[in-house]
Amino acid sequence: MGDKKHTLTLTDNATGKAIELPVRYGTEGPPAVDIGPLYRDFGYFTYDPGFVSTGSCRSAITFIDGDQGVLLYRGYPIEQLAEKSTFLEVAYLLLYGELPSQDQLDGFTNVIVRHTMINESLKSFYQGFYHDAHPMATMVGVVGSLSAFYHDSTDIRNPQHREIAAHRLIAKMPTIAGASYKHSIGEPFVYPKNSLSYAGNFLRMMFAVPSEEYVVDPVAEKALDLIFILHADHEQNASTSTVRLAGSSGANPFACIASGIAALWGPAHGGANEAVLRMLAQIGDVKHIPQYLAKAKDKNDPFRLMGFGHRVYKNYDPRARIIRKMCHEVLEKVGDQHDPLFELALRLEELALKDDYFIERKLYPNVDFYSGLIYKALGIPTNMFTVMFAIARTVGWVAQWMEMIGEPDQKIGRPRQIYDGPAARDYLPIRRRKSAPHGAGTADLNGEARNTD
Ligand code: CMC
């Protein structure tokens, strides 16, 4: 790894001992203190809620410099990939570490295309979901169920199995997503058409009906391919960490990716794109923006400006810059440039970026501030927005999962805690117990029974 010799020394006031911890360096980014010896040699854990200062792994896939607004996939700047590459080429890069030659790309495309269909009996799985199920709920269930279909690729110690599982997941995700949408609107599923591009095929599975010809709109196809590139990976975010943690126990890749989809769904993560559109609709008119900015700044109000802020970027999200430009292009060519929601979004962005609260906290628009507007212009319904994110991020999840499983010293992930509960005490027979008030997080069983309808 080429670590420079450097240590961090802490003094333990309780014992007077010096604690020496090695410092690790990557190719980019700040150094990291290796706290491995801390518990083993000195009996201390570290405490870092939300993992704001904790690196959970070494990874050679994606690098983010949040202060400079830099995002690299395998060393390549996102701006260059967005301009010159395609989603499947980026997928190859993330999975295998290098950009493919033409032969390698053709071979990879061919493999992905061969795996786009889903087992016919998997289709009946959808019938178990109520028609108005949120497509993300359907995605979690159907992707998890893939492990019941592909026993031939779930031996995670076999590199070939891992690779086939990765290809299957990347290939089937648009098909599963398209079917989730079709189920929710009561239309027949559309089979994949493998002569189309990854994005074009997905658009067709979303919008084609058996009774009519469907022609993929090249502007929509290009915009979607770009959005997929921008969302493909983002180092150790909540869903990727979830995939790694699930995978660290030896769970099969389909189950791991289903857990990633579940983690992505939350509004603080991938669910933000859906939340942005709901928020814009709620604001309704530019004249209400000051009132909503005040709500976002009010500590007693849970309202946050969705699509603003990021755990790592304390500068403009580089993906937001790229997608903002694409947003203009898409609205000009296929959408409505004068869509009041777009005008509202631009004005909101302008006012927030001038506001001291957002300036001081370095809160800039993130990728999700714009992706929803593009999806809307392409006719993709709001409840599919996070599904779109999941399709693209599957590449990052499987690349990170493969990297982790391939490590020789891979261990189960197992964080520790500071225990704040009661100290050790003796069991009392029931007749000697008094009714104690329910603590936070304790179920009020009577209340629960009352509220069940
Ligand atoms: N609106 C208003 N205030 C905010 C916002 C926001 N969107 N984001 C952060 N803040 C404030 C927060 O209240 C806190 O203020 P103070 O220091 O006075 O207590 C300060 O900024 C720091 O916030 P934080 O919650 O400690 O930051 P975090 O790194 O834990 O959270 C975040 C990052 C993305 C969860 C948060 O910015 C947020 O909730 N944003 C809205 C949801 C969103 O757009 N998420 C998509 C992220 S990008 C796509 C992805 O990676 O999935």
The span from the CA of 140 to the CA of 147, in Å, is 12
User: According to the model, what pLDDT value does residue 4 have?
Assistant: 63
pLDDT of residue 194: 92
pLDDT at 337: 65
**How far away, in angstroms, is 258 Cα from ligand 1 center?**
25
Mean pLDDT along residues 204-211: 96
At 154 the pLDDT is 81
Q: What is the pLDDT of residue 307?
A: 92
d(CA 424, CA 349): 53
- For the segment 76-97, what is each residue's pLDDT rounded down to a tens digit? 999 999 999 999 999 999 999 9
Per-residue pLDDT tens digits for 111-127? 999 999 999 998 888 99
Q: Is 270 in the pocket of ligand 1 (CB under 6 A)?
A: yes
Predicted confidence (pLDDT) per residue in 237-281, tens digit: 999 999 999 999 999 999 999 999 999 999 988 888 889 999 999
Given a cut of 60, whether residue 386 has pLDDT beyond it is yes
Contact 370, 360 (CB under 8 A): no
Q: 0.75 cut: is pTM over it?
A: yes
Nearest to 273 by CA among 410, 196, 387, 438: 387
Q: Is the pLDDT of residue 2 over 80?
A: no
Q: What is the pLDDT of residue 450?
A: 40
Mutate to test the pocket of ligand 1, among 293, 295, 311 (most ligand atoms within 8 A of CB): 311
Residue 310 designated active-site: yes
Quick check: is 231 catalytic? no
Closest C-alpha to 265, from 388, 126, 430, 146: 388
Q: In angstroms, rounded to a whole number, what is the distance separating the alpha carbons of residues 141 and 135?
A: 10
Residue owning the nearest CA to atom 14 of ligand 1: 361
User: Which residue among the candidates 161, 234, 269, 310 is catalytic per the annotation?
Assistant: 310
Does the beta carbon of 311 sit less than 6 angstroms from any atom of ligand 1? Answer: yes
Instruction: Using pLDDT thresholds of 50, 70 and 90, give the confidence band for residue 448.
Output: very low
**Is residue 1 pLDDT above 60, yes or no?**
no
> Which pLDDT score, from 0 to 100, does residue 322 have?
94
Which has the higher per-residue pLDDT, 307 or 450?
307
Backbone angles phi, psi at 43, to 5 degrees: 80, 20
- With a cut of 50, say whether residue 59 has pLDDT above it: yes
Instruction: State pLDDT tens for residues 129-184.
Output: 988 899 999 999 999 999 999 888 788 999 999 999 999 999 999 999 999 999 99
Q: Is residue 411 classed exposed, middle or buried when 0-12, 13-18 and 19+ CB atoms within 10 A define those classes?
A: exposed
Quick one: which H or E segment has residue 21? strand 18-24
| Pick from 149, 88, 102: nearest CA to 121 | 149
pLDDT band at 437 (very low <50, low <70, confident <90, very high): confident
pLDDT bin (cut points 50, 70, 90) of residue 440 is low
Does residue 446 have a pLDDT over 60?
no
- pLDDT at 451 exceeding the cut of 50: no
Q: Give 338's Cβ-side CA count (13 Å radius).
A: 0
Q: What gap in Å lies between CA 347 and CA 203, rounded to an integer?
A: 30
Quote the ligand 1 centre to 357 CA distance (angstroms).
12
Average pLDDT, the chain: 91
| pLDDT given for residue 447 in this prediction | 44
